[in-house]
Amino acid sequence: MASKKIGLASWRNQPLGITVLRLWLGGTWVYGGWVKASDAAFLSKSGPNSFSGQLTSYIGHSPLTFALRHMLEHATLFAWFVMLSEFAIGIAVLTGVAMDAAILGGFSVSMILWLSVTYHVHPYFLGSDLAFAASWLALFFLWRAHSRSGSRGRTTALGGIIPNLKDRREVVGIMGVAAGAVIASLAGGSFRPKIKVGAAIVKVADFPVGSTMPFTANDGNPAILFRTKAGVFAYSAMCTHQGCTVAYDALSHALNCPCHGAKFDSATGAVLAGPAPTPLPKIGVQISGANIVQI
């Protein structure tokens, strides 16, 4: 039994708890899709911030490792699927189209992210995916109770969870959501910063052995460059827990995250302490003539 009101009408006379959850979850899912669509790195075939790079860093740390390995073989396809799904779920929840299915979709995505990305975060409340899954579940039961109260006993397949494709308005609504997801994904492309290949990070003469410096990687994200007797190397400076920017501490030779206390080994990128699930991804750099460049 699902409420058939869509658009603005779906927001009228609903309990305040549903309004808060729809705004928060729907808005966050649309924003999540937008962050991916406008990120030059996300759809690239390789790199620490590409979808395939992210999958690689979860493999071996997740109970879904077997499935992640298969996804890696078709990483670009799955990257598009994830981005479109986030837009579609967010738009559907905000517009009230196929709500039960959209809410269950949001719950499923949150559970998959928890099992893939934040499964090992300790204590568990520092990982956001489980909290999102609980919020989706709360919205599901609240929405079902709200729909039942206004349905006057009408029933549909599986009590309204599966969209009723005989209802022309519902079909048009679903097509609108799908079109919105595609348009938003394509629109994000025009906001992607252009990737600069081979741009100089610093002159070799200005960066002697023993130096460290933050820089902006080709994908626009923060990174940290090191030069030791062995050569030059660099890491992404985005904490693998929730993306805060880490900073180098010369006393402990560690990269510290200010948000929840993760520490990474500056020699290897490995996690030394805190809730970060995986090491800092390496960024390829080399000395090229008089400059140090990203490769």
When the beta carbons of 108 and 245 are compared against ligand FES, the nearer one is: 245
**Cα 56–Cα 59–Cα 65 angle in degrees, nearest 5:** 135
Q: Please report how close the Cβ of residue 223 comes to ligand FES at its closest, in angstroms.
A: 15
The CA distances from residue 126 to 106, 114, 241, 275, in Å, are 20, 12, 9, 8
| Gap between the Cα atoms of 92 and 96, Å rounded | 6
When the beta carbons of 5 and 120 are compared against ligand FES, the nearer one is: 120
When the beta carbons of 171 and 259 are compared against ligand FES, the nearer one is: 259
Tokens of 190: 């025009």
Of 247-266, which residues contact ligand FES (CB under 6 A)? 257, 259-262
249 backbone dihedrals φ, ψ, rounded to 5°: -110, 110
* Sole window of 21-29, 93-101, 102-110, 273-281 interacting with ligand FES (rule: CB under 6 A): 273-281
Q: What is the DSSP letter of 230?
A: T
| Gap between the Cα atoms of 50 and 56, Å rounded | 10
Residue from 103, 115, 276, 280 that binds ligand FES (CB under 6 A)? Answer: 276
Q: What is the DSSP letter of 238?
A: B
Q: Please report how close the Cβ of residue 164 comes to ligand FES at its closest, in angstroms.
A: 43
Of 220-249, which residues contact ligand FES (CB under 6 A)? 239, 241-242, 244
When the beta carbons of 10 and 118 are compared against ligand FES, the nearer one is: 118
State the residues that interact with ligand FES by CB under 6 A: 239, 241-242, 244, 257, 259-262, 274-276
